[in-house]
Structure 1
Amino acid sequence: MHSPSSPIRHLSHALLGLLLLTASSAHADQLDTILAAKKLRVAIDLAVPPYSMKDDKLKLIGSDVETAQLMARDFGLELEVIPTTLTNRVPYLQTNKADVVVSAFSITPERAKVIDFSVPYAPILVVVGAPKGMKIDSPADLAGKKVIATRGTTNDQELTKVAPPSATITRFDDDATSMTAMVSGQAEVWVTSPMLLQVVNEKNPARNIESKFTLKANLLAVGLRKGETRLKDKIDHWVRENLRNGQLNAIYRKYHHAELPPDILAAGR
């Protein structure tokens, strides 16, 4: 039998301590990490107008951009924008490439299984857009038509649920590519948000694209990794406070030319 002071016993204690330290590091609190770095890394797709886009001076603007700027400023942190695509929003959280996502990020049951969401701060509609002269009143009218969607988005998911078997769906990797297809006339039907349809008409008025019908109304929220309770509580409190004081409504009005709906504003009461 080894004595309490034997080398083997000391080695066991050292290994136990190392394992506990490693486990602690692996589950480090994200809020503490953010505050220590004095920086908030926010993943944003840079080409989803009016949520995120560049102006004529190549400055990044948009409702999600200003939302991220306001959050970092209120938290007393430097904002670092991490460029992403809509497809990579969840992976960027899971691989710690970003602390949070503020990028037209709809709350869905599927996403909520693998990441957490804050209190909703804005809405986004999923609509079917097509030229004014094209008769489309329901999903059944998509039969035989070529329809585009941006891969991995809720727009893509909602379209997939209702598209007739004879509809041909082309999925692009980002909204910028989908936009190019619509502006150039390569595509006739786009399942997206109303504001992106407006951008198509601004770029090419001859397209005369309009919203035919709404597939779904989704809620946008800040995305973060699972289990970061303190960070989620802080962001939830921030969202509620800025719904109450009107800051988030002002940002939404500036870029979407509408007021936040009552169900969103109710979270701030």
Structure 2
Amino acid sequence: MTKRTFLWRGLLVITLIGAFLSLKPLSSQAKSVNLYQEDKKTKTLTWGVKADTNLFGLMNIKNSRIEGFDVDMAKALTQQIYGKNAKAKFIQVTADTKIPLLKNGNLDAVIAVMTITPERAKIVDFSQPYFAAGQSLLVKKGSAIQNVKDLNGKTVLAVKGTTTEADIKKVAPQAKVLQYGDYAQAFVALQSGQGQAMAADNGILYGLAKENQNYRVTGGTFTAAPYGIAVNKGQKDLLNHIDQALVELKENGTYAKIANKWFGDVAGFDYKEASK
């Protein structure tokens, strides 16, 4: 082993040890700490956010910052809870890492287009819904399709592995559903005329409509899958303050300001639908 190799390995070990020591306590220890009181000392809340979801949490390559509705809501909630000088700290999460990082204690809360489900509620605690997500329809501007009932006799594009086909068939049994591997493929199929509408979560469709001005979201939501803020089990104090802050942000107009900032120019965006 050369001297250079020895030094490199030594630095690697030190780096790994440092990274390990910087982690917050494991979940069993994190549960015993009142995060609301601990964060009150520093006036800082650590949030898990997505960095790959347009309008909600997306990395801005120009400034290397995550930006979106969820990010702005996290900042507003932090200041509503701890005061105008409070700071929100952000850690990027994915669908696979958001709950493990929360359970491990590396996050105080997760606001990351996270649907409230009974299965997840067994593992984490959810706030009241902060965005009334659900399946909706994306159509070309000028389309006669106004809601899911208009899909009878039409071809609808969806994504494999979702409940979209079953949900549509309940309301429009004569609709034909074509399924694709991901949302990008389904949208390309819509653009090429392989169907008259695309069905998916309204948050995803808002992002597509934002980037493609010839399309609009229509019909409200025909399923209910609201997004909630997740905290670790045993953190009722923090959860209660988040819920109270959500109410206050809606009452003082901050929620509407943030929603209109990100969705106001999206064709088909319904503020009343999103905020209910």
Q: TM-score range by the shorter chain?
A: 0.5 to 0.7
Question: Which runs of structure 2 are paired with 1:80-99 in the superposition (5 Å)?
Answer: 80-99=89-108
Q: Does 1:29 align with 2:42?
A: no
Distance 2:229 2:250 in 1: 14
Question: Which runs of structure 2 are paired with 1:54-69 in the superposition (5 Å)?
Answer: 54=59, 57-58=62-63, 59-69=65-75
Q: Does 1:197 align with 2:205?
A: yes
Q: Does 1:224 align with 2:231?
A: yes
Percent sequence identity over aligned pairs: 19
Q: Does 1:244 align with 2:251?
A: yes
How far residue 111 of structure 1 moved from its aligned partner, in angstroms, is 2.3
Instruction: Give the structure-1-normalised TM-score.
Output: 0.64
| Superimposed CA distance per residue, residues 120-152 of structure 1 (whole angstroms, 9 cap, x where no aligned partner) | 333223214356779894698699976326x7x
Instruction: Give the structure-2-normalised TM-score.
Output: 0.63
Contact 2:135 2:223 in 1 (8 A): yes
Give the direction of change, closer, same or farther, for the CA distance of 1:169–1:225 in structure 2 (3 Å limit).
farther
Q: What is the Cα-based RMSD across aligned positions, in Å?
A: 4.2
Correspondence for 2:132 among 117, 123, 126: 123
Contact 1:137 1:213 in 2 (8 A): no
Contact 1:121 1:248 in 2 (8 A): no
Partner of 2:57: 52
Contact 1:148 1:190 in 2 (8 A): no
Distance 1:24 1:162 in 2: 39
Q: Does 1:40 align with 2:40?
A: no
Partner of 1:107: 116
- Give the aligned residue type for 2:200: T
- Give the aligned residue type for 1:148: V
Aligned residues: 232
- Give the aligned residue type for 1:119: Q
How far residue 101 of structure 1 moved from its aligned partner, in angstroms, is 1.0
Distance 1:101 1:26 in 2: 15
Distance 1:112 1:142 in 2: 38
Partner of 2:76: 70
**Which stretches in structure 1 are left out of the alignment for 5+ residues?**
1-21, 173-177
Distance 1:129 1:243 in 2: 27
